[in-house]
Amino acid sequence: MKKVVIILNIVVFLMIFSFCGYGIADQTNSGSSTTPSPGATTHIVEMTGNYEFVPSSLTIKQGDSVKWVLIEKDHEVASGTVIEGPDGREGVPDGLWNSDTLTRGRKESFTYTFNSTGTFPYYCESHVDQGMIGSITVE
Ligand SMILES: [Cu+2]
């Protein structure tokens, strides 16, 4: 009777041991199979005739690019914050990027690549007063 108990114990021990082994093996496999493939994305922000960036706020991954595309009217994309000055709203550039004037038929888009994380506010120099403001969050 004692021998049967000992054998049963060994069988149970081996079963637990092998399950643990399989568990570890599964975790390793799923870990390597779900590794995201590297590859940057270019996100589009439209600059409309209604003095809007669409979408006005966007969350992207580090290394991604944003391409601002002119839809209607002339616009500029400059990085920086917007303050309420004595003469109304005005942009304070931080110097990260400035597209200069985007005009139909001459220069219709501007692309910037975000290599560091953080929140990056921007505005259209000509249309700050109309509330043409946007923000990129890089994770
Ligand atoms: Cu504008």
Instruction: Print pLDDT tens along the chain (139 aa).
Output: 555 554 445 444 444 444 444 443 333 333 333 333 368 999 999 999 999 999 999 999 999 999 999 999 999 999 999 999 888 899 999 999 999 999 999 999 999 999 999 999 999 999 999 999 999 999 9
Q: What is the distance in A from the centroid of ligand 1 to the CA of 15?
A: 69
Q: What is the pTM of this model?
A: 0.72
The residue assigned the tokens 């041991």 is: 17
| Ion ligand 1: residues, Cβ under 5 Å | 75, 124, 126-127, 132
How far apart CA 59 and CA 68 sit, in angstroms, is 15
Q: What is the distance in A from the centroid of ligand 1 to the CA of 68?
A: 11
Q: What is the distance in A from the centroid of ligand 1 to the CA of 45?
A: 13
**Which whole-number Å values give the CA distances from 65 to 36, 74, 88, 90, 136, in the listed order?**
18, 22, 32, 26, 10
